[in-house]
Structure formats: C-alpha cells, structure tokens
Structure 1
Amino acid sequence: MHSPTGTTWTDPPVPQHRVCGEASAPYTARNLVTAALGAEHPLHADACVVASELVTNAVRHSRSGIGGRIGLTIARLGAEGCRIDVLDDGPLHTAPTSPAPRRPTLHEASGRGLLIVAALASEWGTVTRPTGQRLVWARLGAVADGASDASPGD
C-alpha cells in the first residue's frame, strides 16, 4: 500500500546516520541495516533491498548526489517489523516532485526501484520539509501491538 505523498512535516526525527551522496552509499546503507537489525532479523534481506533502492534514488535524483549527504534511519517496529527513513537534500530541479513508481519498458536498465520498494514494503510514502528536503520512508512487516507505527510527520 502506498501512502499519500506531499505532506509537509515540520519537526522531523534526526537521522541516525549521515551517508555521503556518492556511488558507495547503497553499500553503506546495507551495512547499516545489518548493524541495526542483525542478519538474523526476518526482514533483513528485504530491508537491505529497500534501503539500497531508496538511497540509490537519493543519490541519483536529489541534490544529495552532487556532494550532499543522505540521512538514514533504521528502526525496529515490534519483533518482526522495521521502518527505513531516507532523508535527501531535495530535488535536483527547481520544480519539486514527489518520488513515484514508474513503468519502465523491458529495455530500460533502470526505473524499477520504487516498484521494488512497493512490493516489499507494507506501506511507504514521502514527506517534504519546508526547506525542500524529502523524506522517503518504508515500513516492512507487521507492527506489533504497542509498537510505534506513526509515520513521519504524524
């Protein structure tokens, strides 16, 4: 399920990690997922893929990829859930856009990242700060009773 996008958020959580917006960022993100969740976590592999895809998008499609930084937060939600937040420096172009899945042709080498995120996440969405920074978040797995499941900006 994809949640509504474009919500303004004024008091974002401080990212746990800052990652350089460069080609090695997805590798770093996967290592941080492993450190946060542990390789034995039931969603470890899916969380690594989701983090890698979201960080890749931040590098390729935001100002974070031109010498900026990416904020990354990985949080457990209950015993078998997790949330991944990726904060970028905002869109490359002056007209802000919200990340959205697209339908690439069979011959295109890229463009499937958010389709993969949508398939693996129980829900995901985007939030834009007044400064233009974007947060793309994804929840994976079930959220146990009593676990915090508020989306960023709630």
Structure 2
Amino acid sequence: MTVLVFLDSAYPDGRIADAGQPQLKVTDTGITRGDGIFETMLAVQGAPRKLQAHLARLATSAEALELDVPASSVWERAITTALAEADDDGELVVKLVATRGEEGAGATAWVQVSPLPKELRGQRLKVLLLDRGYDSTVAQRAPWLLMGAKTLSYAVNMAALR
C-alpha cells in the first residue's frame, strides 16, 4: 500500500492523502514542465537510511532550481508520519518530491512511501555510466543545465534506459 503525505503548513506533521485518488492539478508545473526535484531513499524497520545526506542533496537540488522548499525538519516530520502510517517493519521506498506548483501558488511537496518491490529486495545497485557529451566545465558556463540536480525532468535518463 502506498502512503502519501503532503507538506502543508496547516498540518505540522504533514497531511495524509489518499494515494489512490488524483492529488495534483494538471496545471502544476511539475507536470507541465517537469519543474521540480525528488529524492529517494530506503527505509528499513521504520528508519530511513542516510536521511540527512538525502535531505542535504534535496536542498542542493532545490537551490540549483531556485525552488523554495520546506525546511529539513518539516520533511522529517512528514517522513515520520508517512512511515508510521505505512505500519510496515520491512523495506520501504521513501520518495520526497517537490514541484514549483501552479504558477504563483508556491511549491507543492509530498512524501510517498511504498513497499520495496519484491524483485528489488536483496539486489545490488546497477550503474550504467554514459558520456553526456559535455566537457567538465559546462556547469560553470551553462548553469541552466542543472548539472548534479535530481530533477523531475527525466527524459534523458528514460531514453538511456530504453
């Protein structure tokens, strides 16, 4: 069962939502433009692995996109809520997502917790290294390429997998 918790200032520990129902508006820029970030981690026995490292990388990605996202402490409370709601002491996938939201409305942010698919349990990470065709100084010359940021725009990654 997937658990969905939105970061919402009216709910200090996050707002639980029905993951089986639509939650985002089609005008959210995360959908229309891929304008957002994400971070994914493993939780084992209700405890996220390397949480501070993932939150730091999320903050770095947000900074690269000039995306105003909630503070790490807010994410931590929502993660705690989602893991408690999942009520699973096994291996879980914890995904943090933030989009720029609708034009002028501010960021939309949520935590999604799902069981780790059975086929992935016990597997080691497989890595494929591809030449991007950029030289090592491109990030300084072309910051709009967002080198190193984990963005929702995953078209190049999906093409590489295909």
User: What is the TM-score of this pair, normalised by structure 1?
Assistant: 0.38
Largest Rg, 1 or 2: 2
User: What is the TM-score of this pair, normalised by structure 2?
Assistant: 0.37
